[in-house]
Amino acid sequence: MAAGALLLALLLPSACGRRTGYLTDSFLSMDTVITVSLGKDTPDAEKIFAECRRRTEECRVIFDAHDPASALSRLNASAGGMTVPDELADVVSLAARVSEASGGAFDFTLLPVSTLWRNAEARGSLPTGEELAAALALRGAGSVSVVREDGAAVVRKAPGQTLDLGGIGKGAAEMTLLSYLSAESGAPYGVLSFGGNVAVFGEKPDGTPFVIALRDPSDPSGTAAELELSGGEFVSVSGDYERYYEIDGEKYGHILDPETGFPADGGLLSVAVVTHDGALGDALATALFVLGEEKGMALYRSEKLAFEAVFVRDGGLTATPGLAGKIRAAEGFVFDVSAP
Ligand code: ADP
Ligand code: MG
């Protein structure tokens, strides 16, 4: 699994990309490589690793849209909604908030569109305009709501609507694991990586902050910047360089523009979001990639949602004011901290 770890959007810790001083466990779940790194003196690390795998699987069977037995697939198969586990209802509520705050850039009702792209890749030709129009017909996060009935959480949706929580589910699962690691496991400190989502907990014995490297999207072996994180912080990266559909030799990014159903092009190579809430950070990274820097900064300034962000363009990056002093751009990157 060491080779798999190199595929991560973030390298840990610092630019060397090696996790010395940690006990680590890597496994595949939720379509991504998950790595749990615990301080090297952590007692009972093997037990903690096993518990992390178990809890991850518990999350997967809720959020996995491609497993027909998952709670999400059952919700998708229902006509107009149904009672769901609280974990699913909470994530749908948060997804709806991000959708609203981002003016619809984050749209978790695009499952028919992403399924269309998957099929297009399999058959080797682009989706047609007609196919896209049909897949877009049922989109609209505004038709989805979460209500409480007799103490149970119920998600309502338009008949036939199907939800895709691929832009938020990994962050939600990561948050579940981080609360276990920081509050229950007994591990003093560590790092959790879910593909493009990384979180840290506790304090390192030497008191120094955790430093993670943001990958250079145009040179996957290079670094765009280094970012300092403190225990309890999450960073989520979205870009189109790592996951895409390949059709006729062309790459089509997996983050979709909800207006057109085509890959989003907000003018960014990638965007990193720093939060105290992993699900919010995951969803926002996807939303900001669609919005681009200017509209993304407007969302930041609106203070509707609490986050900091790094916008990565070709050869340059801009960080929001709260990251001043915590981020160092790599050589060759033109670096800017945006005015508050
Ligand atoms: P990754 O899954 O690689 O971590 P993201 O968090 O950015 O990347 O999520 C991308 C996934 O979100 C896509 O694979 C798809 O399932 C879903 N998605 C695509 N476009 C959107 C969008 N505009 N809003 C919300 N979810 C989206
Ligand atoms: Mg995301």
117-163 tens-digit pLDDT: 999 999 999 999 999 999 999 899 999 999 999 999 999 999 999 99
Ligand 1 site, residue 56, Cβ cutoff 6 A: no
- Ligand 1 atom nearest to CA at 197: 4
Ligand 1 site, residue 243, Cβ cutoff 6 A: yes
Residues in the chain, pLDDT under 70: 1-20, 339-340
**Nearest residue by C-alpha to atom 3 in ligand 1:** 243
Count each helix (H run) and each strand (E run) in the chain, helices first: 8, 18
DSSP state for residue 180 in the 8-state scheme: I
Which residue type is seen at 71? A
> Is 42 buried (19+), middle (13-18) or exposed (0-12) by CB count in 10 A?
buried
How many whole angstroms from 236 Cα to the centroid of ligand 2? Answer: 7
- Ligand 1 atom nearest to CA at 286: 7
What is d(CA 160, CA 42) in angstroms, rounded to the nearest whole number? 48
Residue 161: partners with Cβ closer than 8 Å, 6 or more residues away: 109, 138, 140, 143, 144
Report the residue among 238, 255, 262, 269 best suited for mutation to probe ligand 1: largest number of ligand atoms under 8 A from its CB.
Answer: 255
pLDDT at 340: 61
How many whole angstroms from 206 Cα to the centroid of ligand 2? Answer: 32
**Nearest residue by C-alpha to atom 5 in ligand 1:** 167
Ligand 1 site, residue 286, Cβ cutoff 6 A: yes
pLDDT digits (tens, 9 = 90+) for 67-95: 999 999 999 999 999 999 999 999 999 99
What is d(CA 31, CA 46) in angstroms, rounded to the nearest whole number? 23
Ligand 1 site, residue 74, Cβ cutoff 6 A: no
pLDDT at 315: 82
Distances (CA, A) of 82 to 77, 111, 148, 152: 10, 18, 11, 10
Ligand 1 site, residue 193, Cβ cutoff 6 A: no
Supply 251's token pair.
Answer: 């790459």
Ligand 1 site, residue 268, Cβ cutoff 6 A: no
**Nearest residue by C-alpha to atom 9 in ligand 1:** 167
Is residue 235 within 8 A of residue 10, CB to CB? The reply is yes
Residue 205, phi then psi, degrees to nearest 5: -60, -30
